[in-house]
Amino acid sequence: MFSQFYAKHNARKAHISLAEMTARDGLTFSETIAGLKQRGEISRHDPRSQLDPAQIRKFTEMSNTDLIARYSTIVEAKFRNSTSREDRVRYAAVARAGQQNFDLLRGGATNGLAKSTEKQALSMAQANPSDASAREMLLISAALSDKAQRERVTVGFQSKDGKGNIAQAAKEQGRSWLEVRDDLVKFNVLDPKDPRRKIRPADIDFQKGGKIKSSATLSPIDLEKQAMLRFKKDPKDEQALGWLAATGAMMGAKQARNVKGTLPPKKGLFKRQSDLQI
């Protein structure tokens, strides 16, 4: 009991980096905040706990270059135009440290950018809770944190339009097809109309429950490609949905990458059944 109390107290005292927590736990910035609130591990006075998830998502649509340019513009404007000497001194310190952000930007270190800007913006917001500029800086930092996670979950996916290959990404990341798919949804990578969103754990479990057809030789990566090609011709293709579920079954938690073939689609759920050789 006392150890938990002191752990929480020390975490607050140390001004924990939420960017580090999101990277460690694979969550969005807003999910991390929600979890900390639920466990009572973040003060309601912490300015990060008051950020609007919708505003964070809006900022994630900007490029890293645009985000850092906007961040730097805010700092420069506050340094030059603030009527408070204390504010000018604080923003001058952030401005002097600004080169670090540009170095991280050039190096493609999005998570490093998130941590750096969070620390700077948090110090500004805590010094002056009514400072709207500091709040916007925190929003930019939160967006960078989410973008860093998006980069992590898109390794191997290689598509900004949401039409990459989840099986390929799962193979490169060493995770299950379903885990990768769920993260691609969470970080707004998959298009809202992408048919892969429809695949449920129950559909994958059904595919795992029967016998593998030895006559079918498609790999999970190729099977997903063929399924997506069928969807281009018919967005309601039930057979293609069955192939996607089978792909998820082959790319499960144990990463059964060497298994060839799939099970037939589930009767009732997928209307047409046919051999999976193409």
Q: Can you read off the two tokens belonging to residue 154?
A: 């898109």
The pLDDT of residue 162 is 54
In sequence order, what are the residues at sequence separation of 6 or more whose Cβ sits closer than 8 angstroms to the Cβ of residue 210?
263, 264
Q: Can you read off the two tokens belonging to residue 221?
A: 């990566």
Q: Can you read off the two tokens belonging to residue 97?
A: 């440290």
The pLDDT of residue 215 is 39
CA 194/CA 200 separation, integer angstroms: 14
**Whole-structure pTM value:** 0.77
Q: Can you read off the two tokens belonging to residue 42?
A: 């973040």
The pLDDT of residue 161 is 54
Taking 70 as the pLDDT cut, the residues of the chain under it are 1-15, 159-162, 210-217, 254-278
The pLDDT of residue 39 is 93
**Environment class of 178 (CB within 10 Å of its CB; exposed 0-12, middle 13-18, buried 19+):** buried
Q: In this structure, are residues 94 and 120 in contact, taking their beta carbons and an 8 Å threshold? A: yes
CA-closest candidate to residue 222, choices 255, 261, 189: 261
CA-closest candidate to residue 142, choices 119, 170, 158: 119
Around 142, how many Cα atoms within 13 Å sit in the side-chain half-sphere? 26
DSSP H or E stretch at residue 19: helix 18-25
Hey, what's the torsion of the CAs at 96, 98, 104, 108, to 10 degrees?
-160
Mark residue 174 as left, alpha or beta (left: phi above 0; alpha: psi -120 to 50; beta: remaining). left
